[in-house]
A and B are shown apart, each in its own frame.
Chain A
Amino acid sequence: MSLSVDFEDIKKKIDNCKTLQELEVIRLEYLGKKGLIPAEMKLLGKLPIDQKKIKGQELNKLKTFIEVSVNDHKILIENAELEQKLKNESIDVTLPHNEEATGKIHPISQTIFSITEIFGNLNYSVEAGPDIESDFNNFSALNIPPHHPAREMQDTFYVNNSNGEDNVLRTHTSPVQVRTMLKSKPPIKIIVPGRTYRSDSDSTHTPMFHQVEGLVVNEDATMADLKSTLILFLKEFFEIDNLKYRFRPSYFPFTEPSAEMDVAYTKKNNVLKIGEGDDWLEILGCGMVNPKVLENCNIDSSVYQGFAFGMGIERLSMLKYGITDMRGLFDLNLKWLDHYGFSPLDLKTRSEI
């Protein structure tokens, strides 16, 4: 006997099924206990051996074919049913989501991070010191004696000390230079960002502000190194390749020679562009460490020399980020802080990752 079934016919019957029930009927028809294939299988035993083998193979082939076809079609029917169901499940995804608070880094911090990254790559390390300082660290050690006219350049806040002496709120970050030189030996290569205080309050001065100080002491640092360091820093900080600058003589009691640095700028439609133009903006003070300061800090000025520089962090922030009102930096206006603040993931590394 030969099998009176056609693969094509069966396939057609399976594919024509619309529901899982119809499909099950067909499956049972062929593969069920009383189905065609088990029935044929039972008959095999009565056949001669050579036919049994051939017939058996044919039956197995057919069985596998039906199983696969039924399964394939079953998935099709299921997916079609699911699709039908999904059509009725639509929601309004335009409804607003719950807002998680977004944190921000203050522009002053972001500026300090940038400065730290740039000088860190030049192998400077960061130092810090207290805000309440001795007169010695803030003035005398830095070659500013009590009645020096330079003390009138900075109006100082005074606080009482427990032993009756006057202490000051540091008027610059320079006392950390003194602290560092007193506690460590050259070579010294540091920057010092931090809070500073002067008794001054108007639209461009706040009684508290931030400075960053730099100090390099070794046997051979020169003014050329100082100038080069600052130019490199400013180019990196403002992210410009061409920096038009002016490096001009000035005076600070703690440096000799002393210099100030101006950068050129243009102002168009109230937007400042740093680095080019015909107007000048004073950006920092610097110089070679006055030998008297080295001696005051127990460093032999016949062997060691160095340079120092200092700049205002608010000013750098405002120039870089286009902030026009300095007082905004210290207000607690949440909209302002959110507007000018930075994402905590806005890393100031070279790769920005």
Chain B
Amino acid sequence: MKFTLGWLKDHLDTNKDLDTIVDTLTNIGLEIESVQDKSKDFNDFTVAEVLKAEKHPDADRLKVCTVKSIDGTFQVVCGAPNAREGMKGIFAPENSFIPGTGVKLKKSKIRGVESCGMLVSEREMGISDEHDGIIEVDSKYSLGEKFIEVFNLDDPVIEINITPNRGDCLSVRGVARDLAAAGLGELKENTLIKNIEGTFDSPVQWEKDFIADEEFICPGVAGRYFKNVTNKESPPWLQQRLKAIGLRPISALVDITNYITYDLGRPLHVYDADKISGNLKMRYAKENEHCLTLDEENRECTTDMIVISDDKQLHGIGGIMGGFDSGCSLETKNVFLETALFDPISVTKTGRYLKLQSDARYRFERGIDPTSIQWGVQAATKMILDLCGGEASRPVQTPILDVKKHTFDFNTNKIKSLGGVDVPKDNQKTILESLGFDVSERDNVFNITVPSFRPDIEGEADIVEEILRIYGFNEIPLTNVSDYIDKKTVLSSELKSFYKIKRAIANTGYVEAVTWSFMDEKVAKLISDNVIKIKNPISADLNVMRPSNIPNLLNAINTNKSKMISSGKIFEVGPIFDETLEDRQVNVATGIAYGNISGNNWNSEKKDFDVFAIKSDLIKILKSLNTPVDSLNYEAISNKIFHPGKSSSLRIGKNIIANFGELNPILLKSLDISNAVVVFEIFTETLAQFQSKKTSTVSAFDNNPFQAVERDFAFLLPKSVKAIDLINKIKKIDKKIINKVSIFDVYEGEKIDENSKSIAIRVLLQPLEKTFSDEEIEGFSNQIIDVIITSFKASHRK
């Protein structure tokens, strides 16, 4: 919402300066978007006279002018065709800053002739695109008069943000009312609303056609007929105000409707009455009806749109835009006026469907003062008769739906109990009354009648806001909000694992990234058959919810290649989405690793990240979230993400805790990635069960004093035997004594049968009550050998 300070002062009698007004607007909830005060920018430019204009000796199109300004006489080289002796124009002196070109003016020589200062065009002043000649001003202006005064640009333009609830402040008068309530002055009488009787019966009538249940769609419409008007350019004051707020003056009749829309928040429409056949009717559009709107678009109407029609055709879309065919032109002689009321929801739907925004729609959507049906006619009448002459008919209107006054009780203690600040009762009453509320008082209760222009006010909470915003949010005192009593758990176990795992993963050398929850359907389909599609994606390659974090993270590989970064460890903790999941999403911590493990250093192992590198990271991460990693069970993965032979799921109980392994080369190929990538995925919620452990409940340390013993074994085994099964089998012999089983060598190759592998195992035996005897150690060794041979068709290698 834009207006000028001068315009505001039409409604507000105030002696406050611009800064005070601007600050107050923000403080009462009408937030300042911008303030344009051109008086500083244009201070240097004044009216000057061209004393002489002679042809430039070396250029046909240039003239050498002698210009007299208030500061003296200057020689100016000028290319404008209209520069001539005796004219008055606007002079920009040397060293002034030209707003339209953004250049500081310097003394120069143009084709050998010195030029000092400049006669400016409208474009150079930044007030229009006009650049065919220099500005000419009327000879009545004297030398030295300021450009901004001649052009009426000295009125500061204020733009404020109006929140959707404050339709009443989409008018200068509404803004003035709020400022008056805030103590900045008095709201003046509205001079536009004068009762003008009219001298004849309107030849055109307003009708409406809605069933009783839907009267609310168009609660009423009024208007009147004007004959013998003269449409012409608006007077300068009106044009300047419209230009100042960014509207283009068209003709007096059209400008009046725009002016009243901004001045009083009352959208209007004027029809060229000679283009109307019969009466005008508000009704729903019929199937296949079209309306050519003022913007010269032929709009197809749907049957839930309100349209205005005569006997032959449509003349507008209710609350949105008038029709082209009956629009007013400079030839218009007879006019018919519309001031209507429409259901905000209906207008919103229609506007959205047509993708058509207008000042009228904007106001109807936010709610308009229903009493303005009648006073809107009067305001328009006064302006039309004042500016265009002619004669007004008696007003006409359809039946108008009664609007019940909205009244309710307000307990004055509510300001303290909800707002936390004491505002004296009298103060509360004064504020409400200055905002247009009727207040009758009884004890601590106000019976409040809401003014017709405030449909947003619903109950006590709204009244608290009204009083407080005028009283000042700054007056709300501070309280002590520290709360050390009743300590609660900050994070649930689920959230603790979700957040804490980020530190655990970063601590293992991974860099955290945050990527879109969306991805390309083409890639997503390689991963899941139950992808969730976005109906209105931001772009075609971000059109589904990601069924995995992995493809987004993989983008890092090619993105960073150009920076000569060829290896990395990256992770993200966030949701993945799939139709089959509960709530259709689950949180996953995903890490990828690729390229050389330790860079290309002189003594590093020249080795790429492989399955066992990522497994080592994964187990470290799981351990730091208290996961009992000794209880992990391995399970084959059956999805398209992982390499089928180089991956595994890890399960505890019935939950899959994590997946890890090498990515499927087919997936990598489709993403144009040529190197191998290893990955882990941790389902963070499954770790919740391990998070409640209290640090104060550690079991006692068992300081076993007896000498531990190590024994090595080598077995020849079928290739299909899994290492974890070997280890578990040996541990099972005696979980207390067999402390550790490690595998220190694996061999497959020429020296042994091609279906076999050789595995070397080291077992750590810890005596519990006394040091082992040789016989006891021998006994354990034999037991181990027997178990492996019988369980796995193995042979013992001595």
Evaluate whether A126 and B535 lie within 8 angstroms (CB atoms) in the complex, with A106-B512, A227-B476, A305-B418 already known. Answer: no
Counting CB contacts under 8 A, is A297 at the interface?
Answer: no
Task: Please give, as numbers and ranges, the residues of chain A lying within 8 Å of B420 by CB-CB distance.
Answer: 222-225, 227
B599 CB to nearest A CB, Å: 5
Counting CB contacts under 8 A, is A97 at the interface?
Answer: yes
Task: Please give, as numbers and ranges, the residues of chain A lying within 8 Å of B325 by CB-CB distance.
Answer: none
Task: Please give, as numbers and ranges, the residues of chain B lying within 8 Å of A104 by CB-CB distance.
Answer: 506, 511-512
Q: Compute how far the CA of A330 lies from the CA of B31 in the bound complex, rounded to whole angstroms.
A: 32
Counting CB contacts under 8 A, is B478 at the interface?
Answer: yes
Q: Compute how far the CA of A153 lies from the CA of B348 in the bound complex, rounded to whole angstroms.
A: 13
Counting CB contacts under 8 A, is A231 at the interface?
Answer: yes
B762 CB to nearest A CB, Å: 27
- A132 near B583: Cβ-Cβ < 8 Å: yes
- A222 near B512: Cβ-Cβ < 8 Å: no
Evaluate whether A106 and B474 lie within 8 angstroms (CB atoms) in the complex, with A157-B534, A207-B542, A288-B418 already known. Answer: no
**277-330 of chain A: CB within 8 A of chain B:** 288, 290-291, 305, 329-330
Q: Compute how far the CA of A96 lies from the CA of B599 in the bound complex, rounded to whole angstroms.
A: 11
Query: Which of these binds chain B: A62-70, A76-84, A265-273, A333-341?
Result: A333-341
**674-707 of chain B: CB within 8 A of chain A:** none
Q: Which residue of chain A has the shortest Cβ distance to B478 in the bound complex? A: A228
Evaluate whether A256 and B512 lie within 8 angstroms (CB atoms) in the complex, with A98-B604, A248-B26 already known. Answer: no
- Report which of B508, B509, B534 forms a contact with A158, defined as CB distance below 8 A: B534
Counting CB contacts under 8 A, is A229 at the interface?
Answer: yes
- B570 near A334: Cβ-Cβ < 8 Å: yes
Task: Please give, as numbers and ranges, the residues of chain A lying within 8 Å of B604 by CB-CB distance.
Answer: 98
Counting CB contacts under 8 A, is B186 at the interface?
Answer: no
- A290 near B461: Cβ-Cβ < 8 Å: yes
- A333 near B583: Cβ-Cβ < 8 Å: no
- B509 near A100: Cβ-Cβ < 8 Å: yes
Query: Which of these binds chain A: B132-140, B247-255, B464-472, B766-774?
Result: B464-472
- A247 near B345: Cβ-Cβ < 8 Å: no
Bitwise interface map of B from 416 to 451 toward A, beta carbon under 8 Å scored 1, else 0: 111111000000000000000000000000000000
Task: Please give, as numbers and ranges, the residues of chain A lying within 8 Å of B495 by CB-CB distance.
Answer: 126, 128
Tally the A-B contacts, defined by beta carbons under 8 Å: 266
Evaluate whether A251 and B560 lie within 8 angstroms (CB atoms) in the complex, with A101-B569, A149-B366, A290-B461 already known. Answer: no
- B602 near A332: Cβ-Cβ < 8 Å: no
**109-132 of chain A: CB within 8 A of chain B:** 109, 112-113, 116, 120, 122-126, 128, 130-132
- A330 near B418: Cβ-Cβ < 8 Å: no
Evaluate whether A224 and B533 lie within 8 angstroms (CB atoms) in the complex, with A101-B510, A132-B585, A251-B166 already known. Answer: no
- B518 near A222: Cβ-Cβ < 8 Å: no
- B461 near A257: Cβ-Cβ < 8 Å: yes
**133-160 of chain A: CB within 8 A of chain B:** 147-150, 152-153, 157-160
**527-546 of chain B: CB within 8 A of chain A:** 532-539, 542, 545
Evaluate whether A224 and B479 lie within 8 angstroms (CB atoms) in the complex, with A100-B598, A291-B459 already known. Answer: yes
- Report which of B164, B462, B491, B499 forms a contact with A149, defined as CB distance below 8 A: B164
Q: Which residue of chain B has the shortest Cβ distance to A129 in the bound complex? A: B583
B112 CB to nearest A CB, Å: 45
**49-100 of chain A: CB within 8 A of chain B:** 95-100
A140 CB to nearest B CB, Å: 14
- B559 near A332: Cβ-Cβ < 8 Å: yes
A4 CB to nearest B CB, Å: 54
- A160 near B535: Cβ-Cβ < 8 Å: yes
Counting CB contacts under 8 A, is A3 at the interface?
Answer: no
Q: Compute how far the CA of A180 lies from the CA of B476 in the bound complex, rounded to whole angstroms.
A: 29
B222 CB to nearest A CB, Å: 26
Evaluate whether A105 and B502 lie within 8 angstroms (CB atoms) in the complex, with A159-B533, A248-B27, A290-B461 already known. Answer: yes
Task: Please give, as numbers and ranges, the residues of chain B lying within 8 Å of A36 by CB-CB distance.
Answer: none
- Report which of B487, B534, B553 forms a contact with A169, defined as CB distance below 8 A: B534
Task: Please give, as numbers and ranges, the residues of chain A lying within 8 Å of B536 by CB-CB distance.
Answer: 157-158, 199
- A222 near B417: Cβ-Cβ < 8 Å: yes
- A101 near B534: Cβ-Cβ < 8 Å: no
Counting CB contacts under 8 A, is B556 at the interface?
Answer: yes
Q: Compute how far the CA of A11 lies from the CA of B510 in the bound complex, rounded to whole angstroms.
A: 65
- Report which of A223, A227, A290, A334 forms a contact with B565, defined as CB distance below 8 A: A334
- A99 near B502: Cβ-Cβ < 8 Å: no
- Report which of A195, A290, A331 forms a contact with B575, defined as CB distance below 8 A: A195
- A103 near B490: Cβ-Cβ < 8 Å: no
A342 CB to nearest B CB, Å: 8
B395 CB to nearest A CB, Å: 31
Q: Which residue of chain B has the shortest Cβ distance to A226 in the bound complex? A: B420
Counting CB contacts under 8 A, is B117 at the interface?
Answer: no
Interface core residue of A291, A333, A334 (most chain B CB under 10 Å): A334
- B508 near A103: Cβ-Cβ < 8 Å: yes
Task: Please give, as numbers and ranges, the residues of chain B lying within 8 Å of A228 by CB-CB distance.
Answer: 478-481
- A332 near B560: Cβ-Cβ < 8 Å: yes
Bitwise interface map of B from 391 to 427 toward A, beta carbon under 8 Å scored 1, else 0: 0000000000000000000000000111111000000
Counting CB contacts under 8 A, is A162 at the interface?
Answer: yes
Interface core residue of B163, B487, B512 (most chain A CB under 10 Å): B512
Counting CB contacts under 8 A, is B748 at the interface?
Answer: no
Evaluate whether A229 and B481 lie within 8 angstroms (CB atoms) in the complex, with A257-B461, A344-B506 already known. Answer: yes
- B569 near A120: Cβ-Cβ < 8 Å: no
Evaluate whether A257 and B575 lie within 8 angstroms (CB atoms) in the complex, with A224-B419, A341-B511 already known. Answer: no
Evaluate whether A249 and B506 lie within 8 angstroms (CB atoms) in the complex, with A132-B532, A224-B419, A256-B462 already known. Answer: no
**468-521 of chain B: CB within 8 A of chain A:** 468-469, 473-474, 476-492, 494-495, 498-499, 502-518
B550 CB to nearest A CB, Å: 13
Q: Compute how far the CA of A121 lies from the CA of B460 in the bound complex, rounded to whole angstroms.
A: 33
Q: Which residue of chain B has the shortest Cβ distance to A301 in the bound complex? A: B461
Q: Compute how far the CA of A333 lies from the CA of B254 in the bound complex, rounded to whole angstroms.
A: 55
Task: Please give, as numbers and ranges, the residues of chain B lying within 8 Å of A232 by CB-CB distance.
Answer: 481-482
Counting CB contacts under 8 A, is A246 at the interface?
Answer: yes
Counting CB contacts under 8 A, is A201 at the interface?
Answer: yes
Q: Which residue of chain A has the shortest Cβ distance to B586 in the bound complex? A: A130
- B490 near A116: Cβ-Cβ < 8 Å: yes
- B511 near A227: Cβ-Cβ < 8 Å: no
- Report which of A149, A208, A259, A288 forms a contact with B365, defined as CB distance below 8 A: A149
- B533 near A160: Cβ-Cβ < 8 Å: yes
Task: Please give, as numbers and ranges, the residues of chain A lying within 8 Å of B109 by CB-CB distance.
Answer: none
Q: Which residue of chain B has the shortest Cβ distance to A146 in the bound complex? A: B345
Interchain Cβ contacts under 8 Å between A and B, 16 examples: A105-B512, A108-B514, A113-B499, A116-B491, A125-B491, A126-B491, A130-B584, A131-B585, A157-B535, A223-B420, A251-B163, A257-B469, A305-B418, A331-B559, A334-B511, A334-B556
**Contacts A123-B487, A337-B512, A344-B502 known; 12 new A-B pairs at CB < 8 A:** A103-B506, A125-B492, A132-B584, A162-B579, A224-B476, A227-B473, A257-B419, A288-B419, A329-B514, A332-B552, A334-B556, A337-B513
The 5 nearest A-B residue pairs measured at CB: A224-B420, A249-B29, A222-B420, A251-B163, A257-B465
A→B interface (CB under 8 Å): 95-106, 108-109, 112-113, 116, 120, 122-126, 128, 130-132, 147-150, 152-153, 157-160, 162, 166, 169, 189, 195, 197, 199-201, 207-208, 220, 222-225, 227-229, 231-232, 246-251, 256-260, 288, 290-291, 305, 329-335, 337-338, 341, 343-345
B→A interface (CB under 8 Å): 26-29, 31, 163-166, 344-345, 348-349, 352, 365-366, 416-421, 459-462, 464-465, 468-469, 473-474, 476-492, 494-495, 498-499, 502-518, 532-539, 542, 545, 552-553, 555-556, 559-560, 563, 565, 568-570, 573-575, 577, 579, 583-585, 598-599, 601-604
